[in-house]
Chains A and B, each alone.
Chain A
Amino acid sequence: MIVDILFYITALVAIISGLLVITGKSPVTSALSLVLNFFCIAFIYLMLEAQFLAIIQVIVYAGAIMVLFLFVIMLLNLQDDMTLFERFDLKKGFAVLLTGLFLLEIAYIFSLDSVSIAPKGVTGASFPELGTVESIGKYLFSDFVYPFEMISVVLLSAVVGAVVIAKKKVD
């Protein structure tokens, strides 16, 4: 019961902060709302017993990536953007229409009888040890060791690329 109420409050805060991200006037407001959104999602991960991912969400997303965003906003000294609802023109109306259609489509697909989120035979029994550091580490270094090595190469190339692009003057 308590868990239900907590979940719905968290979902509501996540939706409100998401709306603030896309409607906020200054980029700093958007960035701070996004941090709140990330914390809400980390809390839902904890409720789903994905403990390791919840910690990674807070450290990597809300910590590292958002600090990078705020750093760049500070470096660029941007002026305030037009918000979503002032200067509401045809292009924005079309974007809203497209997004609404997309949401309706997802709702329609999941309302079909042939599509079920929980197929037959899935009991949904709880295995709390699934999301622990021990379990994640065990699978990451056995079954998923090849993708793990690949992702390290991707990160290295991204770091080198970022340094080269940000350093060089484009003529």
Chain B
Amino acid sequence: MNQHIDAIVALSAILFSMGVLGVLTRKNAITIFMSVELMLNSVNLALVAFSRLHNDITGQMLVIFVMAIAAAEVAVGLAIVISIFRNRQTADVTEINLLRW
């Protein structure tokens, strides 16, 4: 698989760009969280590829920590979305302006 490292890094860049596009264009807060997950996963993919290329375990360790952080982020983020939905009856980020002014 080591001859494919270039292709895996390219795949990682494409998936990361898709995540950026999703965060910038979608309005639904839950879909935005999914796009963030897409970005985290693409970074994990690049880390594993480099870890394999250099035969260094550190990259795979970092992936484990990124996964733990992603789980924590999703739990807190979805709790915030539920809390806002309970008060505003919407998960549209363009209508949520609690902190704007």
Task: Say whether, besides A78-B91, A168-B83, A38 and B41 are in contact (CB < 8 Å).
Answer: yes
In the assembly, what is the distance between CA of A157 and CA of B81, in Å? 18
Chain A residues lying within 8 Å of B79, measured Cβ to Cβ, are 161-163, 165-166
Chain B residues lying within 8 Å of A165, measured Cβ to Cβ, are 76, 79-80, 83
Number of interface residues of A (CB under 8 A): 84
Task: Say whether, besides A11-B11, A21-B34, A81-B26, A166 and B82 are in contact (CB < 8 Å).
Answer: yes
Chain A residues lying within 8 Å of B6, measured Cβ to Cβ, are 110, 117
Whether A130 pairs with B30 at a CB distance below 8 angstroms is: no
In the assembly, what is the distance between CA of A81 and CA of B22, in Å? 13
Task: Say whether, besides A41-B44, A82-B27, A117-B6, A65 and B70 are in contact (CB < 8 Å).
Answer: yes
Interface residues of B, dominant DSSP: helix
Chain A, range 106-129, C-beta contacts under 8 Å to B: 106-107, 110, 117-118, 122, 124-127
Whether A124 pairs with B2 at a CB distance below 8 angstroms is: yes
User: Which 4 pairs, one residue from A and one from B, show the smallest C-beta to C-beta distance?
Assistant: A158-B72, A95-B24, A22-B22, A124-B2
Q: What residues make up the interface of A, taking CB atoms closer than 8 Å to B?
A: 3-4, 7-8, 11, 14-15, 18-19, 21-22, 24, 27, 30-31, 34, 37-38, 41, 44-45, 47-50, 52-53, 56-57, 60-61, 64-65, 68-69, 72-73, 75-76, 78, 81-82, 84, 91-92, 95-96, 98-100, 102-103, 106-107, 110, 117-118, 122, 124-127, 130-131, 135-136, 139-140, 144, 147, 151, 154-155, 157-159, 161-163, 165-166, 168-170
Q: What residues make up the interface of B, taking CB atoms closer than 8 Å to A?
A: 1-2, 4-9, 11, 13-15, 17-22, 24-28, 30-31, 33-35, 37-38, 41, 44-45, 48-49, 51-55, 57, 60-61, 63-65, 67-76, 78-87, 91
